[in-house]
A and B are shown apart, each in its own frame.
Chain A
Amino acid sequence: MLAFIVRRLLQSIAVLLAVGFIAFSMFQFAGDPVNNMVGQDANAETRALLRERLGLDQPFPIQFVRFIGNMLQGEFGVSYRLGMKVEQILVQRVPATLELVLIAALLALSVGVPLGVYTGLHRHGALSRVMLTVSLIGISLPTFLIGILLILVFAVWLGWLPSFGRGKVVALGWWTTGLTSWDGFRALILPAVTLSLFQMTLILRLVRSEMLEVLRTDYIKFARARGLTSRSINFGHALKNTMVPVITITGLQIGALIAFAIITETVFQWPGMGLLFLQAIQFVDIPVMSTYLVLVSLMFVIINLTVDLLYYAVDPRLRIERSAVGAH
C-alpha cells in the first residue's frame, strides 16, 4: 500500500515537472523579453543590466529552477494582453469557473443518477427507451452546439434567460458568487445545463449498466428470497453497490468539466478561466497560457491521485489483485 502511494506520488511529481518544463520552454521561443521592455535606442549596457536583473544571464537549468520556485510562490508573471499580474487575473476568474463546474456536476448527478436507476429498473419500459435514445443524441451533439441551441430557444425565441455573462455577482471577500441573487442564478442556468448535459448522459448510462449488473447478483436474489421490500432492495442494496464506480467516474469527470468549461464559457461569454485561456491562445499570451497549463495539470494530477487512492481504500478487491500481480 505504502509502495503504491509513493510510486503514484513520484509519478505525479514527474508529470508536473514535465508540464512545468513545457510551460517554461514556451517562454524561450517567444522572443527576447528584454527587447520588448526597453526602447530601440537602449545601449548594450542597459540591456545587460536589465538582463542581469531579470536573471536571464543565468544558465538554463538555474532559470528553470527559478521559474518553478516562482510558480510555487504563486508568482506567474504579467499577462502580455491585459498588462496585469496573472495571479490577480486568476483570482477574478477562478470563482466563475469553479461555480459553473460545481453546479454542472451537481446537476449531472442529481438528474443522471435517478434516471439511471429508473432505466435500470424498468429496462423494457417505453420511457426508458425514450430516455436512452435521447441520451444517444446527447452524446452525439457537440457541447458548443448544445449551447447554441439552448441560446436560440431560451434566449432568442422565448427570451426567458440571459445568454451571456454572469449577471449580477456578489463579492464574498475575494470570491464572487452569482448564486445569491436571482439575476446571477438565471445567468448560470443555460451554461450549467450545457456543461452538464454530456456528463448527465454518461452518468445515466453508467448507473443503468451498473444497476443491471448488480440486480443479477446472488445477494440481490437472496434479499428477494428473504422477502425484503423491493424498495429496500433497489435502493438499500443495489444502488449502494453501484456507487463506487459512479463516484470514481464523477471524480475523474470533474477534470473533463474543467476542460469543457473552455467551450461553454466561450459560447456564453462566461468570464472564467476557460475563456481567459482561449483568449490567451488566440493572442499568444504566453504567461497566461503557461499558468493555465500548470494549474490545470495540477488539478488533474490531484484529482487522479485522489481518485486512485480513494478507489484503493474503498474497494478491497483491488488491493488483493495488486498484491497478486506483484508476486509474479
Chain B
Amino acid sequence: MAETEILSSPGARLVDVVRRFFEGDVFYSFRRSPVVIVAFAVTVIFFLGAFLAPWLAPHNTFDAATLNLLDAFKPPAWKADGDRSFPIGTDDQGRDVLSTIMYGMRVSLLVGFCSVALALAIGVTLGLLSGYIGGALDALIMRVADVQLSFPAILVALLIDGLARSFLPRSMHEELAIYVLVLAIGASNWVQFARTMRGSVMVEKGREYVQAARVIGIHPAMIMVRHVLPNVTGPVLVIATLALAVAILTEATLSFLGVGVPPTQPSLGTLIRIGNNFLFSGEWWMTIFPGAALVLLVLAVNLLGDWLRDALNPKLR
C-alpha cells in the first residue's frame, strides 16, 4: 500500500522513468557508438547556440547602432589583418559572421521545427483517417500521396511557395514569407508520415482493445485519438527526426534561391546566398562558415535519426 503510494507520486515516477531510460537498451546503444555521441553533442551545441543566440552571440547583428561599416570584410581572426573580436570574420555590412550564423540557425531551426510540426499534423491526421476508416477515403488519400511522392519534395515546396506568392498581394510577401515557407515545406513532406501512420493504424485496428472500445460504443473519433494514436506515435516520431534534417535543408535551399525567408531575418541559406555574391572577391569565409554549419547540423541530425530508427527497431536488436 505504502509502496504504490510512493510510486504514484509524480516525482518518484519521474525518477523511475529516468532510471529505466539509463538502464534501457536505447541508452546502452547510445553509449556504445561514438559517432552517435559526437552527433548528439554537435546537435546540442548547435541548438543551444541558436536558441541562446541573444545571450551568447558576441555581437547583436540586428542592432544597427553597434554595426560599423569600417569593420566590413574582415577576414577570420587567424589571418594577418583579422580582428580578435570577430573570430571568423565579418560580412559586407560589418556584421560578425559567427553571430549571424547563430542568429541564422535560430531562423533555420524555427522554420524546420514548425514545418515538421505542420507535416506531422497533416500526415498524422490523414494517415489516421486513411488507416482507420479505409474504403474510398483511404484510396483517395493514398492516390494523392502517390502523385505527390512522384514529384521531388523541393519542387513541390517551390510550387507551393510560388502559388502562395501569386495568391497573396505583393505588399504582404515579406511579412508572410516565413509562414509561406513553413506551409510550403510542411505540405511537401506530409506523405511519409501519412504512409507510416496508415500502416501502423491498420495493424492496431485489428487489436482486441480497439474491438473492445468499439463494442462498448465509443465514438470512432474518440477511439482514433485516445486509443489508437498513443500506440502508433513511436515510428512517426523517428521519421520526424529525419524529416527535420530534410526540412532544414529545404529551407536553406529555398532561402538560397531567394524565395525563402526575407533578408531582414536571414537564415543559414540566406547567409550563404549573401556570401555567394562575394565569392569572387575572395571573401570565402562569408559562404564557407554558414555552409559548414548547415552541413554539420544536417549531418548530425541525420545520424541521430538513423541511430534512433535502428535503436527503436526491435527487429534489428
Contact = CB atoms under 8 A, between A and B. Distances in A.
Interface of A: 11, 15, 22, 26, 29-30, 140-145, 148-149, 151-152, 155-156, 163, 252, 255-256, 259-260, 262-263, 266-267, 277-278, 280-282, 284, 286, 289, 293, 296-297, 300, 304
B258 A142 contact: no
Given A145-B294, A266-B257, A282-B259, 15 more contacts: A140-B298, A142-B249, A142-B294, A144-B253, A145-B295, A148-B276, A149-B291, A151-B279, A152-B287, A152-B288, A156-B282, A252-B150, A259-B151, A259-B152, A289-B162
B295 A296 contact: no
A26 B168 CA distance: 11
A259 B154 contact: yes
B interface: dominant SS:
helix
Contact of A140 (B163, B165, B295): B295
Instruction: Give the residue among A141, A145, A149, A259 with the most B Cβ atoms within 10 A.
Output: A145
Contact of B166 (A30, A142, A163, A252): A30
Contacts of B257: 144, 262-263, 266, 278
Contacts of A280: 162
25 contacts: A15-B147, A29-B166, A142-B249, A142-B253, A142-B294, A142-B298, A143-B253, A144-B253, A144-B257, A148-B287, A149-B291, A151-B279, A152-B279, A255-B150, A260-B152, A262-B257, A267-B276, A277-B158, A281-B161, A284-B165, A286-B166, A289-B162, A289-B166, A293-B159, A304-B150
Interface in B271-317: 272, 276, 279-280, 282, 284, 287-288, 291, 294-295, 298-299, 302
A136 to B, nearest CB: 9
B256 interface: yes
B84 interface: no
A300 B302 contact: no
Nearest to A22: B163
Contacts of B259: 278, 281-282
B312 to A, nearest CB: 22
B151 A255 contact: yes
Contacts of A26: 163, 166-167
Instruction: Give the residue among B152, B252, B272, B298 with the most A Cβ atoms within 10 A.
Output: B152
Interface in B242-283: 249, 252-253, 256-259, 272, 276, 279-280, 282
Given A145-B294, A278-B257, A140 B166 contact: no
A204 B249 CA distance: 22
B204 to A, nearest CB: 22
A163 B258 CA distance: 19
Contacts of B214: none
